[in-house]
């Protein structure tokens, strides 16, 4: 209980044991068995994962990843996602990332009026103090991840891994424009046509169409219905929709 709930003290744990489990243990006994924290470490508040879950709809995260072209040129892909919906808000490609270029990407990410309160990024040197000041002027507060702690930005790291496994590992971009065109098509598929299990399953950017109702018979389509198939990236992926007879 102490590990799961860092805000709980011995009295809270003793009360939990008594009321929920029927175990009569004094707070002094609980304190004896609680894990000891290092003396040089202050007690932190809620866990990082708890904070992210509680404020997911107000947090965006960003990160860079790389791609190699057919001519062995390194290109940098900048990705910004919304934590709650898993929607990719913005991406762009450049061969020479700079702080000024990155600030421009944030300008294109955040609309004039938005509800985002925090931006998560790592401690890459490109995220300078001047860049962070520019982001703060746009509204969000900057949250830097701890050093050597990639899991602190796990949502964006996972999206980058998905981009690599489901797209870049299967294509060879010819150049910057070609890579941007590939990612444009893939990101649209990711946001509007990829069911995410963490969302229910659901889509990060649902369409305005009426949701398809569950079929009365679990394994049979209604009479006259047909399944339309739309290829993505020349057939690397496909999207499906149900076309009901008039």
Q: How far apart are CA 165 and CA 159, in angstroms?
A: 10
Q: Is residue 87 within 8 Å of residue 61, measured between CB atoms?
A: no
Closest by alpha carbon to 82, among 148, 155, 140, 172? 155
Q: For residue 239, what pLDDT band results from cuts at 50, 70 and 90?
A: confident
Q: For residue 40, what pLDDT band results from cuts at 50, 70 and 90?
A: low
Which range, 40-44, 57-61, 168-172, 214-218, is most confident? 168-172
User: Tell me, what's the pLDDT at 36?
Assistant: 76
Q: How far apart are CA 241 and CA 243, in angstroms?
A: 6
Mean pLDDT, rounded, for 52-74: 88
User: Tell me, what's the pLDDT at 157?
Assistant: 92
Q: For residue 13, what pLDDT band results from cuts at 50, 70 and 90?
A: confident
Residue pLDDT, tens place only, 194-224: 888 778 788 898 887 777 777 787 677 778 8
Q: How far apart are CA 177 and CA 184, in angstroms?
A: 10
Mean pLDDT, rounded, for 151-175: 92
Which residue would you say has higher pLDDT here, 86 or 244? 86
For the chain, domains (ranges, CATH) are: 10-45 (no CATH), 50-199 (3.30.420.10)
Which residue would you say has higher pLDDT here, 76 or 25? 76
Other Cβ atoms closer than 10 A to 96? 7
For the chain, the average pLDDT equals 86
Six-digit token pair at 155? 């949502």
Which residue would you say has higher pLDDT here, 219 or 28? 28
0.95 exceeded by pTM: no
Closest by alpha carbon to 187, among 199, 179, 198? 179
Q: For residue 238, what pLDDT band results from cuts at 50, 70 and 90?
A: confident
Closest by alpha carbon to 77, among 103, 116, 105, 100? 105
User: Tell me, what's the pLDDT at 55?
Assistant: 66
User: Tell me, what's the pLDDT at 74?
Assistant: 96
User: Tell me, what's the pLDDT at 19?
Assistant: 77
Residue pLDDT, tens place only, 110-139: 988 888 999 999 999 999 999 999 999 999
Closest by alpha carbon to 116, among 137, 96, 141? 141
Question: What is the SS3 string spanning 191-228?
Answer: HHCCCEHHHCCECCCCCCCCCCCCCCCCCCCCCCCEEE
């Amino acid at each position: 209980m102490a590990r799961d709930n860092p805000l709980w003290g011995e009295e809270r744990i003793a009360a939990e044991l008594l009321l929920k489990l029927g175990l009569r243990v004094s707070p002094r006994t609980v304190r004896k068995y609680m894990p000891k924290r290092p003396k040089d470490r202050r007690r932190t508040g809620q866990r990082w994962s708890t904070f992210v879950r509680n404020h997911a709809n107000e947090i965006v995260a960003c990160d860079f990843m790389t791609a190699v072209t057919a001519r062995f040129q390194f290109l940098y892909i900048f990705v910004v996602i919304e934590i709650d919906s898993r929607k990719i808000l913005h991406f762009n490609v450049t061969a020479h990332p700079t702080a000024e270029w990155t600030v421009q990407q944030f300008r294109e990410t955040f609309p004039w009026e938005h509800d985002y309160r925090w931006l998560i990024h790592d401690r890459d040197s490109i995220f300078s103090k001047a860049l962070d000041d520019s982001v703060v002027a746009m509204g969000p507060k900057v949250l830097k991840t701890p050093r050597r702690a990639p899991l602190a930005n796990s949502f964006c790291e996972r999206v980058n891994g998905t981009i690599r496994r489901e797209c870049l590992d299967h294509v060879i971009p010819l150049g910057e424009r070609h890579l941007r065109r590939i990612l444009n098509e893939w990101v649209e598929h990711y946001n509007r046509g990829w069911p995410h299990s963490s969302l229910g399953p659901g889509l990060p950017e649902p369409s305005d169409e009426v949701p398809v109702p569950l079929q009365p018979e679990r394994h049979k389509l209604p009479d006259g219905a047909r399944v339309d198939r739309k290829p993505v990236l020349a057939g690397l992926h496909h999207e499906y929709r149900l076309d009901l007879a008039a």
